[in-house]
Structure formats: structure tokens, C-alpha cells
Amino acid sequence: MAALPSSAIARWAFAIKPASFPKLMVPMLLGQAIGVAATGSISPAAVAFGVVFTVLDGIFIVFLNDWADRDIDALKRRLLPHAGSPKTIPDRILPATHLLIAGAAAGAGAVLASFATAQWLERPLLGWAGLVCLGVFAAYSLPPLRLNYRGGGELLEALGVGLLLPWVNAYAQSCRVAGPELWLLPGYALLSLGSAVASGLSDEVSDRAGGKRTLVALLGNAAGRRVTEAAMLAGAGAWLVSVWLVPALATRVALVFAALSVFHAWRRVRRASPLVTTYAFAEQAAYKAALHRAIWGAGVALGAVELLYGLARGT
């Protein structure tokens, strides 16, 4: 296990888990770019909202997820005292009450930003959409639903990260509730489902012992990897189908290349898969890193094309 941070600033910086933020920032950027492509113009205020909302939402998720998982994390530390990365609460990096208060404050700030921007930019649905985004996480980890414990948490994460978050940002940028440009999102949501399932690999033993009903805890490591890899293929396939549903030639070409890049990454992930066994934590980390590079790289590339296409339309 890595050394624990010592200073107060280092402890808070660790607790925020900055390495996990691309999971939210990439769909935020993709959504903003979709909004620019839809209108042919860019609103700096909508971009500022997207950054503020996504960062606050991320802090809300990370802190309250650690607070909600404190018992399971403590169980994992007892079962595997030297395995995995440090845990914020069990390893005494920060107290549980500090995370609860800071996470709740970040969530309140995200909701406030949503309603304030709704008035400023005349986006009547934006405040409620931001509230729904936070509500999805509350249903994921917090009482009374706690679907990550009862089952279905992976689907909820795919909905929140792969569909809702980019849609909120696209709507903030364009004020369009629907449009053909949104056909980019089902493929991204399927890739996000694969990421959500893979996140349970390193916690299989403690989740099962603690009664947490993730897909990996219920069906096992091998089944979790099969679902992850199937979701990668499904996401690439959905993007290929979307080629026939979007009007812009540039977007069609980008979708083909994004799908091919994911398929190429799937081949590498599939070859490494047999080594990613229950206690192979280093191999699990490498497996998830390759998966994330594929998802985030494809998402950034699609977003870049949509942004350039939108700006070109406006000139």
C-alpha cells in the first residue's frame, strides 16, 4: 500500500481523488461540444457552468461515496491489510464527518450553480436537471435506495456518467432538449457501463463479504470481465449505428474512427484479461487503465471534432 499523505492539504487532495475526475470531465467536455455543434456558437458562461458543476458534482460523489462505503472499506482493510490503495476513512486520512459535511456542501453548491445558471442563461430545465444528476448518485450510494448495495449500481452509474452529465452540459450550451447530435451518447453510456462493472474487480472479496451486490460480487471476477468487454464492443457498435443517425459528415467520420479505436483497445484488453484474477491487484489496475484510456480517448476525440465542426459552422 502506498504511503499516506501527511499534511492537511495533501490529505484533502488525496481524498478528492483527482485521478478519477476524467470519468466526469470527459463526458462534460463531450456534452459541451455537442451543444456547440448543435448551435454553431459557443457560450463561455455555459462552459464555466459545466466546469463548476462537474467539479462540485465530482467532489460530492467522491466524498459521500467514501462516507457511504466506510464500513465496507474498513472490512477490506481488515481482510487485505496491505492490498489496494489507501482508504480515506479506514486509514485515518480524514474523519468521516469531515467528508460528509464537505460532500454535502459541494452538492448544495452544484445545485445552486444549476438553478442560478438556469436563470442567467434562460435554460428553464437546467436547475432540475442538475438536481436529477445529484439524485442519481444519491440513489447509487445513499439511503434509502443504495442501489450499489442492493444491485443495479453499475446501470445507474452508466446512466449518470454516460447520459445525464453530457446531456446537462449539451443543454446548458445549446438549450436544446433533443436532437440528432445526441445519438453520440448511447455508445458512450455503454462504455461507461463497462467502466462501472470493472471498478468492482478490485473490491470483489470485501464487497461479497460485506453483502454489497455489485455484478462482480454476485457473479465473480471472470463474469465481470466478460461483461466489461462486451460493453466495450456494444459501445463501439452503437457508435457505428449512430453513423446513420447523425447528419454531419465530420461527426460520421469521427464516430467510425472512435468505434475502431475502441475495438482496437478491446483486443488489447481481451488479451490481458486472463491475468486479471481476483487477487491480481496490479493486473486489475492495468486492465482498468487500458479501459479508461480507450473510453476517455474516444470521448475527447469525438468532443474535439464536434467542437471544431460547431465553430466552423458559426464562421
Q: Is residue 3 part of a domain?
A: no
pLDDT of residue 64 exceeding 70, the answer is: yes
Give residue 88's domain range.
14-314
Burial class (CB in 10 A: 0-12, 13-18, 19+), 102: buried
Q: Is residue 24 part of a domain?
A: yes
Comparison of pLDDT for 152 and 114, the residue scoring more: 114
Region 139-151 average pLDDT: 85
> Would you state the pLDDT for residue 140?
86
Region 158-173 average pLDDT: 96
**Residue 272: which of 311, 217, 225 has the closest Cα?**
225
Residues 5-16 pLDDT 10s: 778 899 999 999
> Would you state the pLDDT for residue 209?
86
> Would you state the pLDDT for residue 2?
56
Region 141-161 average pLDDT: 89
Q: Is residue 9 part of a domain?
A: no
> Would you state the pLDDT for residue 1?
54
Percent of the chain topping pLDDT 90: 73
> Would you state the pLDDT for residue 87?
84
Residues 167-221 pLDDT 10s: 999 999 999 999 999 999 999 999 999 999 999 998 888 888 888 889 999 999 9
Region 67-79 average pLDDT: 86
Q: Is residue 249 part of a domain?
A: yes
Choice among 44-58, 60-74, 179-193, 252-266 with the minimum mean pLDDT? 60-74
Percent of the chain topping pLDDT 70: 98
**CATH code where residue 229 lies:** 1.10.600
State the average pLDDT for the chain.
92
Of how many residues is the chain composed? 315
pLDDT of residue 45 exceeding 70, the answer is: yes
Region 143-150 average pLDDT: 85
Q: Is residue 304 part of a domain?
A: yes
> Would you state the pLDDT for residue 306?
94
Q: Is residue 7 part of a domain?
A: no
pLDDT of residue 145 exceeding 90, the answer is: no
Quickly state the pLDDT bin for 294 (edges 50, 70, 90): very high
Q: Is residue 271 part of a domain?
A: yes
> pTM for the full model?
0.93
Q: Is residue 69 part of a domain?
A: yes
Tally of domains in the chain: 1
Residues 97-143 pLDDT 10s: 999 999 999 999 999 999 999 999 999 999 999 999 999 988 888 88
Angle, helices 70-79 vs 44-68, to 10°: value is 60
